[in-house]
Amino acid sequence: MTPPSALPPGVQVFERGWLSANNVLMQDEHSATLVDSGYVAHQAQTLALVQHALQGRTLDQLANTHLHSDHCGGNRALQAQYPALKTWIPPGLSQAVQHWREEELSYQPTGQNCPAFAFTGLLQPGHTHRWADMDWQVHAAPGHDPHSVILFAPEHRLLMSADALWQNGFGVVFPELEGVAAFDEVAQTLDLIERLDPATIIPGHGAVFTEVAPALALARSKLEGFAQNPERHARYGAKVLLKFKLLEWGQISQTEFDRWAAQVPYLKQLHQRYGNGLSLNTWLQMMLAELERSGALNVEDGVLHNA
């Protein structure tokens, strides 16, 4: 949890692990609002964190920066706990949410889970919301996700950057995994963040930080490397998907994990484009071996252990 002194009054950050996005709780005398709700596997922890912080008051509003499973997987649990909860989502996938089309929402293609939820309104870019006694501007931030938004409070120069900018980079550029060019959109979003000139950033993952210029420089360097070598980004994306599932399961037999991975559409598509003639199983084993060498997993007696 971020110390209150590091943020304006009424703003509290629950820094989560990499399976769940950070949650930002904002309170004033009128309402309490949560931005992003984590992954479904952590929904009980999300509820406990929110309830403890609210000290008996109700949660009035929930907003999602984008609809990847690690940012909205706790939505349904929060809606069940707080029946009058108003939920705001970016407009791009509102029809997919309304009719709950998991393929369009990325959950089926990535092999991830997200319980169906409802929404009340839309976080329209160009609009402003009043949370924690401050105005929050909604800005479109395509790249990592074509429909993502970021939220900026100019009075405090405080930015919720979602997965558009972390202190050590940015999120996988998912359109690129589907063969849709989006590196330019990442660059444009980084330019937008620079123009907004935030003093403090609450990222979608990792700690709150104030060293904005170095973070932008690192992100642009990584982006240039990915743009020059798309296969490098594809391998990075594949390893992120594999690691995410290991984070969820903790440990699983190699056989069971292989069976799951072989059915994930994104992984199959990446193999078809970048497998270089290797079988799917061999290519997946190469990705797992790279994760093991980096210390991200351990293999013991045919069982994969998250590390």
Per-residue pLDDT tens over the stretch 25-63: 999 999 999 999 999 999 999 999 999 999 999 999 999
pLDDT of 4: 46
Q: Quote the CA–CA distance of 132 and 59 in Å, as a whole number.
A: 13
How many beta carbons lie within 10 A of that of residue 116, not counting itself? 10
User: Would you kindly state where each structural domain of the chain is located, as residue ranges?
Assistant: 4-228, 231-306
Q: In the predicted model, what is the mean pLDDT of residues 136-164?
A: 98
What is the average pLDDT value for the chain, to the nearest integer?
Answer: 96
| pLDDT tens digit sequence for 54-109 | 999 999 999 999 999 999 999 999 999 999 999 999 999 999 999 999 999 999 99
Q: Which residues pair with 121 in a beta bridge?
A: 88
Alpha helix (H) ranges present in the chain?
A: 43-54, 69-72, 75-81, 94-98, 107-110, 174-177, 183-196, 212-228, 230-249, 254-261, 265-274, 280-293
Q: In the predicted model, what is the mean pLDDT of residues 269-278?
A: 94
Comparison of pLDDT for 282 and 4, the residue scoring more: 282
Residue 4 carries which DSSP code? G
User: How long is the chain?
Assistant: 307
For 244-265, letters b (16+ CB in 10 Å) and e give: bbbbbeeebeeeebbeebeebe
Q: In the predicted model, what is the mean pLDDT of residues 180-185?
A: 97
- Model confidence at 10: pLDDT above 70: yes
pLDDT of 271: 95
User: Where do we find the tokens 């349904």?
Assistant: 76
Question: Contact at 8 Å (CB) between 260 and 248?
Answer: no
First-last CA distance in the chain = 22
How many beta carbons lie within 10 A of that of residue 180, not counting itself? 11
pLDDT of 1: 53
Q: Which residues pair with 235 in a beta bridge?
A: none
3-state secondary structure of 144: coil
Q: What is the pTM of this model?
A: 0.95
How many beta carbons lie within 10 A of that of residue 161, not counting itself? 27
CATH fit for domain 231-306, picks 1.20.120, 1.10.3470, 1.10.10, 1.10.1200:
1.10.10
Q: How distant, in Å, are the alpha carbons of 93, 224, 247 from that of 180?
A: 17, 17, 27
Nearest to 71 by CA among 204, 222, 212: 204
Which own/partner contact pairs does 298-301 have at CB distance under 8 Å and 24+ positions apart? 299/254
CATH numeric code, 4-228 = 3.60.15.10
Nearest to 221 by CA among 210, 205, 237, 232: 232
Domains 4-228 and 231-306 share a fold: no
Question: Contact at 8 Å (CB) between 175 and 146?
Answer: yes
Nearest to 106 by CA among 175, 21, 20, 58: 175
